Amino acid sequence: MGLPHFAKGEVIKGFGRGSKELGCPTANFPMDVVHNLPADLDTGVYFGFASVDRGEVHKMVMSIGWNPFYKNDVKSMETHILNTYDEDFYGKELRVAMLGFLRQERNFKSLDELIGAIQGDIRQAREKLDEPDFIKYKTHPFFKE
């Protein structure tokens, strides 16, 4: 399924829903990065590692697709880094290593159901990224080159 996939680009402003509505701030890639995804990569939720401006590498989950709950008409890559930051990092370079697939993109009946799914995705990602097949990517040269 085109994994692992490495991507980097400047963080841009997204839809403004992650922190406010979902309690899950996201860093968004520009369209040129989205367009460079492998053709065989399904929409859905992925897990891996991320770094901002070649800093510390953290676990992440990423949604790729049109977010049917919000009826987006533009495909996006929205990365939630499993770390707390004191400030936004718009304009900084985000590097991600997408390592595994969690679930297909789908619609939800309510905002609470969507938030519950996101929290489940985060729990799964935390666990999976401690496995030997994945943890080795935390020190991959891609994050420092």
Q: Distance between CA atoms of 128 and 141, rounded to whole angstroms?
A: 21
Measure the CA dihedral 115/117/120/124, to 10°. Answer: -130
Q: Distance between CA atoms of 22 and 32, rounded to whole angstroms?
A: 26
Q: Are 125 and 101 in contact (CB under 8 A)?
A: no
Q: Distance between CA atoms of 10 and 33, rounded to whole angstroms?
A: 9
Tokens of 64: 């790729």
List 10, 21, 56, 78, catalytic entry: 78
DSSP state of 137: G
Q: Is 56 a catalytic residue?
A: no
Residues with catalytic annotation? 78
